Chain A
Amino acid sequence: MRSYLLKGVSLLGQPAQDLVVRDGVIAEGGKADETIDAEGLVALPGLVDLHTHLREPGREDAETVETGSRAAALGGYTAVFAMANTSPVADTAGVVEQVWRLGREAGLVDVQPIGAVTVGLAGKQLAELGAMATSAANVRIFSDDGNCVADPRLMRRALEYVKAFDGIIAQHAEEPRLTEGAQMHEGEVSTRLGRTGWPAVAEEAIIARDVLLAEHVGSRLHVCHVSTAGSVEVLRQAKARGVRVTAEVTPHHLLLTDELAASYDPVYKVNPPLRTAADVQALRQALIDGVIDIVATDHAPHAVQDKECEWAYARPGMVGLETALPVVLSVLGEQWKLIAERMSRTPARIAGLSGHGTDLSAGSPASLTLVDPSARRVVDPSGLASLSRNTPYAGTTLPGRIVATFLRGEPTVLDGKAVK
């Protein structure tokens, strides 16, 4: 294994120093095989994404574990959690082990499968959660993401059952009866466009119910892609009461609003939908306050034909792994400690993932990323490593460039390019 000297690097914005990566860990110092001029670069613990769609098995035309892993590494990630809504659904030990093994073969990030809560994501019957937990994939996060576990009794059982192996249920909060036929945020813009709205209350009502259920059974709950100011208030109150709830927000919900839907371009169609400027402000503040614990991408690649059509027929979702850190930088500014907390440490802690989100001190695993905060980049969809092109940021200038990423001492990205 080659060793690297990161010369003049800043740890989380601190004064420049030298850092040596040797034998998979951060070394005390000494010589290295290769020197990287890291003057002006900031080192962050490798980012951890609790919400990624890698599409394999089933939609390898949109993304594979390998291409998604490469996109993740280029975005500064060293671990991603792959959502279960593949085809077949990741609701058995067999499927989660397949995804886990594909991740190991790609070797660019740690791919941790998320297991489905219910068989086939159908919301009727619990999947074999214990079998997935004890499989080689060692699943701890379970989610029907894409669908809400809407049945309150089933949700209660799921929350209770996973306590046996310290699992956590990640809920896609969407009351399905309130969002039938929904195409975008319910508000002024949907009224003008004559599109069926996705009301904020459909998310807030489920979160309110679920924090009460989690409180009742004393379980951990994680809320996926929080998108409304009202949800933030529900979470704030639940946390103040001591409910064991954590929550994520996506980069796009921190930056974009439902006005973009008036372009009719389905690249802006996503679930939950883009909300109003007031929601964006509330989400930013909640991320700073810690009411929202982490940023997660909800990276959702889609093939061209699934977006190059009428809005109503387009699939919801946006790619996000390669733009997440630049978007967060543009929103939060260079608050490196906060960014490390929200994009690496806390997600690793929620998932119980060891070896990620650690301090970059001697002896720690060398899973880290180097960012050039002074660089500006115009997002070019054709330049993405993801197989899909559905980025909402095409033509947008974003701050920050990922220069290098290391996974346990091995470079996965050098000079802004994937190593393999």
Chain B
Amino acid sequence: MIKHLRSAADLDAETATLILDTAGEMAALAGREVKKLPTLRGRTVVNLFYEDSTRTRISFEAAAKRLSADVINFSAKGSSVSKGESLKDTALTLQAMGADAVVIRHPASGAPHRLASWVDGSVINAGDGTHEHPTQALLDAYTMRSRLGKIDGLKVAIVGDVLHSRVARSNVLLLTTLGAEITLVGPPTLIPVDIAAALSPQTKVSYDLDSVLPDMDVVMMLRVQTERMQDSYFPSAREYSRRYGLDAPRMRRLPEHAIVMHPGPMNRGMEIAPEVADSSRSTIVEQVANGVSARMAVLYLLLGGKA
């Protein structure tokens, strides 16, 4: 088993499949009256969050607690971090406290890689800037597999602000490893020209959402921050929504079986219409539940559990 999960590129198909299978076993647990496993009793998991992300932190916290680990939440706000302590000094502090795993959310690309060079425990990337968010990709893959029965051969459109999306990067890497065909869709300002060369050569790019939809098994809508408008990535929220938002008429262009995903939090009415988000095709709430199972699987396997 790998020691760290810093990037979705750390996962080969075999390892990724093992994590997804394990997540399935963890999910089965959620239906039981007693949801807790004793596996990580006595182990310490630190959630080191340099950015506000209540949903990701809670998901990791729930995952670690269901495995009976001791959880320490270390938030940048109100801690020594806001007093200017360096990442290295924080790492050495966590090391001295005996952290077995550090889950890190950080605004800078590569912070988990730096952290891994300063601590002995496992490092799990919970989102580093606009780089990667590998556990999100795992829970997305798990969701696709449980809804559609497979990942190999699936056609997946990832729509929106690919340039600034850690979710997109990790999903392209992981889903390609597992055999899906990815099409990235968005305005040219938000899709780097060399994205395929950078991530995986078979990735396709389209600037026309309508033409892509009829072929897709999965449409993943990315959150688009309205600040991007001020930076002239697109002229207005309304124009973005008209060209790249998933509304009900567009959803009807999808094949019957296709699902709609969103990593959250959503801008309802911007990249996704409320009736789409709340439709039976939408997996958005499932994704949250699957997030706990996928993160349990990652903690379990990285910290030496056996499947």
| With A308-B86, A309-B114 as contacts: A188 and B108 at CB distance below 8 Å | no
Contacts of A192 in B (CB 8 A): 169, 198-199
Of the candidates A191, A193, A194, A310, the one whose C-beta lies within 8 Å of that of B114 is A310
Q: Does B223 contact A (CB under 8 A)?
A: no
Cβ–Cβ contact A187 & B194, under 8 A: yes
Q: Does A195 contact B (CB under 8 A)?
A: yes
- Assign chain A's interface to a size class: 10 to 19
Shortest A307–chain B CB gap in Å is 11
Contacts of B198 in A (CB 8 A): 188-189, 191-192
Cβ–Cβ contact B195 & A195, under 8 A: no
Of the candidates A188, A195, A309, A313, the one whose C-beta lies within 8 Å of that of B131 is A195
| With A264-B114, A309-B86, A309-B114 as contacts: A194 and B194 at CB distance below 8 Å | no
Distance in angstroms between the alpha carbons of A183 and B108 in the assembled complex? 10
Of the candidates B88, B113, B132, the one whose C-beta lies within 8 Å of that of A194 is B132
Interface size on B, residues (CB 8 A): 25
Q: Does A354 contact B (CB under 8 A)?
A: no
Q: Does B95 contact A (CB under 8 A)?
A: no
Write the B215-236 contact mask toward A (1 if CB under 8 angstroms, else 0). 0000000000000000000000
Q: Does A305 contact B (CB under 8 A)?
A: yes
Q: Does A393 contact B (CB under 8 A)?
A: no
Shortest A184–chain B CB gap in Å is 9
Distance in angstroms between the alpha carbons of A309 and B166 in the assembled complex? 21
Q: Does B93 contact A (CB under 8 A)?
A: no
Cβ–Cβ contact B86 & A188, under 8 A: no
Distance in angstroms between the alpha carbons of A312 and B113 in the assembled complex? 13
Cβ–Cβ contact A312 & B86, under 8 A: no
Main DSSP-derived SS at the B contact region: mixed
Contacts of A308 in B (CB 8 A): 86, 88
Write the B231-265 contact mask toward A (1 if CB under 8 angstroms, else 0). 00000000000000000000000000000000000
Residue of A nearest to B192 (CB): A191
Shortest A176–chain B CB gap in Å is 15
Q: Does B282 contact A (CB under 8 A)?
A: no
Q: Does B129 contact A (CB under 8 A)?
A: yes
Q: Does B269 contact A (CB under 8 A)?
A: no
Cβ–Cβ contact B108 & A310, under 8 A: yes
Name, among A264, A308, A310, A313, the residue most crowded by chain B CB atoms within 10 Å (CB to CB): A310
Cβ–Cβ contact B192 & A310, under 8 A: no
Cβ–Cβ contact B130 & A309, under 8 A: no
Cβ–Cβ contact A191 & B195, under 8 A: yes
Distance in angstroms between the alpha carbons of A305 and B107 in the assembled complex? 19
Shortest A187–chain B CB gap in Å is 6
Cβ–Cβ contact A194 & B131, under 8 A: yes
Shortest A385–chain B CB gap in Å is 26
Write the A304-320 contact mask toward B (1 if CB under 8 angstroms, else 0). 01001111110000000
Name, among A188, A189, A191, A195, the residue most crowded by chain B CB atoms within 10 Å (CB to CB): A191
Distance in angstroms between the alpha carbons of A190 and B132 in the assembled complex? 13
| With A187-B194, A264-B114 as contacts: A311 and B86 at CB distance below 8 Å | no
Residue of B nearest to A262 (CB): B110
Cβ–Cβ contact B194 & A310, under 8 A: no
Residue of A nearest to B166 (CB): A194
Distance in angstroms between the alpha carbons of A245 and B44 in the assembled complex? 62
Distance in angstroms between the alpha carbons of A183 and B192 in the assembled complex? 16
Name, among A192, A193, A305, A309, the residue most crowded by chain B CB atoms within 10 Å (CB to CB): A192
Within 8 A of A (CB), among B114-152: 114, 128-132
Cβ–Cβ contact A311 & B110, under 8 A: yes
Shortest B239–chain A CB gap in Å is 23
Contacts of A312 in B (CB 8 A): 107-109, 129
Residue of A nearest to B133 (CB): A194
Q: Does B96 contact A (CB under 8 A)?
A: no
Contacts of B86 in A (CB 8 A): 305, 308-309
| With A308-B86, A310-B87 as contacts: A193 and B194 at CB distance below 8 Å | no
| With A188-B198, A308-B88, A310-B87 as contacts: A193 and B131 at CB distance below 8 Å | yes
Q: Does B111 contact A (CB under 8 A)?
A: yes
Residue of B nearest to A312 (CB): B108
Q: Does B106 contact A (CB under 8 A)?
A: yes
Shortest A122–chain B CB gap in Å is 24
Shortest A390–chain B CB gap in Å is 15
**A-B pairs with the 3 shortest C-beta distances?**
A194-B131, A264-B110, A312-B108
List 10 A-B pairs, Cβ < 8 Å. Answer: A191-B194, A192-B169, A192-B199, A196-B130, A264-B110, A305-B86, A310-B111, A311-B108, A311-B114, A312-B108
Residues of A in contact with B (beta carbons under 8 Å apart): 183, 187-189, 191-196, 264, 305, 308-313
Beyond known contacts A194-B166, A310-B108: 20 more, CB 8 A cutoff = A188-B197, A188-B198, A191-B192, A191-B195, A191-B198, A193-B110, A193-B131, A194-B109, A194-B128, A264-B110, A264-B113, A309-B87, A309-B88, A309-B114, A310-B106, A310-B114, A311-B108, A311-B109, A312-B107, A313-B108
